[in-house]
Structure formats: structure tokens, C-alpha cells
Chains A and B, each alone.
Chain A
Amino acid sequence: MVRRIAAGLAGKAALAALCVPALAIVGPAACPAAAQDPQALDRAQVPADPLGSPMWEHHAAGLLTSGRILFDPRVAVRLPLLAENQHVFPVTVDARALEANGRPKVRRIVLLADLNPIPVAVDFTLHRAAPFLATRIKLDQRTPVRALVQTEDGTWHVGGQWIDAAGGGCSAPPVSRARGDWADHLGEARGAMWSAAEGPQLDGPVPPGGMARLRLAFRHPMDTGLVENIPPYFIESLKLRDAGGAVLAEMAIAASVAEDPAFTVIVPATGAVRFEAVDTGGLVFAGTVQP
């Protein structure tokens, strides 16, 4: 338990460091996350990348704590055939196969786009959630998109693929900025819960004791800070709690998540779910999703 929290905090530190765009291209010597994390990996421990990414070693050394690193086909990172819109690119991570047959549970999922100026989009600490995450990110260029999935035995299971993209996903103003109405709807939340018992067959009420698919979407510009005269401003955390206040899942979120961020997770169906999102301006967007 202690180890899990430590890993979560280290991940947050790494995420915070990588949110500063310059650090991502300076190199590991100048990257405080890599330098200060006692668990950070030596580059020699990082296995060669089957995707051949020029940034793999750097990101792996900075983000992955010690433990085995496996490129694992059980980590499914499902992407569309093309990036039709580089500002809103859907990514589905499904690592449920890792937990089959009583294998170690997944503790954490880091969603990474190697060549983005803000490479880590989401750092998801599962607590009681299933190892599944669907969201949309920005793409600043052709890049690998990966999930770094850590199980409780410390092993990192890595899956991902390249996606081609037009430039500018992180460096063009969001639609609501261009339209000028971003403040009118800031933090408006939409969402609902469905039964997750049947996998993709989602009809029917949420059965008690089973798993529930929870979808949450917020209106927020998710400014990256890479657009002239618009400072970074984004939802930086999301926490889900059950009716008794126990944490079901939490995420550290970066500005490379798409404008009007949307998340799909699978959590135990224990009744109403309280959500609390906090943005970098300190605003809290909270509410309840009823089953």
C-alpha cells in the first residue's frame, strides 16, 4: 500500500515535470523527475523499443520506476485508422487481459504520446477501477501512443502503436477560445453509468456487485500554454469516490488531453459515484453520477 502511494506520487512528479514542454526535449540530465526519483531507471535497463521511437529511452527512464519492463500484447491500445482531428484523437486502453486467471492486479496506467510536447496525457491510479480507460488526446505530430501499465508486482507492461497526424494539435487554440465562449460553460459536466458486466453490450441497468461503466465529460478549454498569449489552464486531477467516500479511482491529467475532456472508466457498481475534478486555477468541479 505504501509502495503504491509512493509510486503514485513519483508518477505525479514525473507528470508535472513533463508538463513543462521544454523539459521533454532537453534530455534526462536536465529533467528533475529523472534526476530526483531514486527509483528511476538507468537507461541501460530500458529494453529496446519495438516501435523504434526516438524518445522511448528518455521517457522510459524518466517515467518508469524500477521493475521489469515488458512490451506486452495484453495491453491493447486501440486507435482509429487515422487522426481525422489532431485536436480530438480517441484512445482506448484495455489491459483487462493482464488480470485474467488471478494474475497481479493493475495499479496504474500512464497514457503517453512520445513525440507530443506534453508527452504524458493521463496518469491513472486505479484503486478499485478495472484496467480500462477511454479518452481523447491532442497530437502535435506523428507519434507513438502508448499505455504504460504497472501491475502490483511492479512490472511495467507496455502497449502502443504509431499514429500519423497533422501538426498543431497542442499548439492551436481550442475551439471555445476561438469562439470566445469558453468561460460561459466552464466546468459543465455530463455523464452517466451503464452496466459493464457484458463488455461492449452495455444495455440494461447497472447490477449491484458487478462493474459499472462510468462516462464523464467536462467543458474546459484545456489550454496547453503553447498557444501565443494563452497561459496553460487545464483540469489537472479527477477523483472518483463511492457513496461512503472511499476512493474508486484517480487521475492526474495534463493539457494534452483534448478540449472538453471526456473519460470512460470501469468501477465497482456500488451505487452513486462522487466525482471531483480540479483545474490549474483551483476551481473544483464536483457532482454525483447516479447508477
Chain B
Amino acid sequence: MSAAWACRRRAVLRGLVAGALAPALPGAALAERFAGAYDPQAEAIGDGLWLVRGADEPISFANGGAIANCAILASDDGAILFDPGASRGEGHALDALAKRLTGKAVARVYISHLHPDHALGAAAFAPAMVHALPATRAGLEREGEALADGMYRLLADWMKGTDLVLPRPDVRAGPLVFGGRSIELVALDGHTSGDLALIDHATGTLLAGDLVFHDRAPATPHADLAAWRAALDRLEALPHRLLVPGHGPPDASGRHHAIAQTRDWLGWLEETLRDCVKRGLDMGEAGEVPIPARFSGMKAARYELQRSVSHFYPAMEASLLPRL
């Protein structure tokens, strides 16, 4: 899609979508709605480290797409923001919050992976300060506009001004000191083709991105389940006191509860879907199977199960149903 078309589309969306088209369509859901203001709340989880919790929900107009966890780290050279949120508005709100907390504006942004609730907030920052793994950059080049389309459709006014800002593809795995803060970048994949985790040495905190979900069901639109499980093994082996998942509450159990829960869900999911194919269920029915009681505390479980059916089921059928 050309940039000109993208701009025109957004102008149309901003001006017309709800107003001019809605009268032809039924339902209050399509009436004109204006976004509220993002009001991110920070929770201090270590010395110079704050967590901004996302809503443990699907992306919706009600939450403005602010569903991903973000972390703010103080440094002498400005704040480090690990995931800038879903939109330009959310990115700006996180920038302002970081300045209030640390006394300095955001100087560096890491995008953990390409998903729009984590990546599109980069629109609020100068492209030169936004960094990601090469695979994340490549994924956003390929799919960023389509992902933005989806977000504009769901979030409308919340997305205003959010143009795709591509991160610099210059993140390499290894230790790094930024503004006196010693961190380690960990390059993994499995949730997507590029999943960045970050260890903050001063606080012993592992920012796991969406490789780890906690009490919120994992999302799988770009997942490679075998690679994801291998990435979880790597994360488990990294010493840390506190783990911040991409979605859900932080895990201070010291027993890798969130990692184990993510692994458990992914294993159950794959086994269950294969079993559904072998038992002759169609996609819709596979999305209706009972979810075990051990996942009853998991938010958005049915929703993510049904999304995962869409992601995996046709390919499983193509290999498991007998050829006639």
C-alpha cells in the first residue's frame, strides 16, 4: 500500500467512518465515538523500574488498545521504554509518564515484537531512538500497514496520527550499558519470528515480552509452537528475581510460575486441536471444547482458543485427515 493511500485512508477514517457511514448500518456499535485520554498507571517494581500494566483483555475501543504491559527504566541518559503501546496517543502518554517518574523523557524505545499492541506506539517517538530485532523490523515492513489497518478498524479515534514508525533493526543479543544502566538483550523467537526479552541487572528483572503470558491466555497469530517452547526453556534458564510478562501480572514467585503456565497452555492447545481433528470436529466445534479447570483463572481463554483454532486448524487438518 502506498503512503499516499495510507494517509488518505486515515483521513477518511478520522473524518468519516463513524459519522457518514454509520446511518446505513444498524447498531449503536457503529455510532460516532470519540476516544478518551490514555491514563497509564505506573507501579514501581524495582529501583528505577516501573511497570505499566495493560488491560488483560482483547483489544477493544473501550481500552484503546492499551492491553500490553510496558516497562519504564530510569537511566542517566533518559528513560528506556520497553514497548511503546498500541498508538501514538498511548506512546505519548507513556513518554509523559516516564518523564514524571524519572525526570527525563524517553531516550530509547525497544519494541519486543511486531504485534500492534506492542509496536505501533513507536509513532510517538523519533524513529532513530526506536530499536528492535531485525526479524521484528522485517515483519513490520511486511505486515505493519495491514496490522495498522486492523487497529484503525477496531480503535478508530484512538489511533489518530498513528503512522507506522519502523524500528532500527539493530538489536543484537548481549550485554549493554545505557546511561549507566546495565541491561542484557535476549534474542528469541516462537511467539513471532523475532521476540526480544530484556534483563535489568540492577533489579534482577526479566522483561519477557509476549513469550510469557500470565493469567491471560497466550495469543498465537504468528506462533511457531516448538520454537516458542524452546524460547521458554531459554528464559527459564536465565537468572531473574522478577518476571514481567507481555500480558498479565508480574511473576515474583521465583518458581517460574508464569513460564510454566504459558508452556502448559501451549502444550494443551496443540494436543487438544490435534485431538479435535482426529475426533472429526470442524473448526467451530474445536473452538467450543471445554477449557480445563486449571486455566479457569486465565483471562480471555475462550477468545484466544478460538483465535488459535483459526491459526492452526486448517494446517493440522491438511496433515491429519486421511487423503481420499
Contact = CB atoms under 8 A, between A and B. Distances in A.
B3 interface: no
Interface residues of A, number: 42
B236 to A, nearest CB: 30
A33 to B, nearest CB: 24
Contacts of B284: 78-80, 90-92, 134
A142 interface: yes
B204 interface: no
Interface string B54-89: 000010000000000000000000000000000000
Interface centre among A53, A81, A134, A200 (most CB of B within 10 A): A81
B153 A190 contact: no
B289 to A, nearest CB: 9
B302 A202 contact: no
A143 B167 CA distance: 37
B26 A54 contact: yes
Nearest to B287: A80
A53 B285 contact: no
Contacts, number: 98
B150 A191 contact: no
B322 A192 contact: yes
B279 A84 contact: no
Interface stretch (B115-123, B183-191, B266-274, B306-314): B306-314
Interface string B93-131: 000000000000000000000000000000000000000
B318 A80 contact: no
Given A54-B24, A79-B284, A287-B324, 13 more contacts: A78-B288, A82-B306, A82-B307, A84-B307, A90-B287, A92-B282, A190-B317, A190-B323, A191-B322, A202-B279, A213-B280, A215-B321, A264-B282
16 contacts: A82-B303, A84-B310, A88-B310, A88-B314, A92-B285, A134-B282, A134-B284, A134-B285, A162-B27, A166-B149, A188-B323, A190-B321, A193-B280, A200-B281, A264-B281, A275-B324
Interface of A: 52-54, 78-82, 84-85, 88, 90-92, 134-136, 142, 162, 164, 166, 188-194, 200, 202-203, 213, 215-217, 260, 262, 264, 275, 287-289
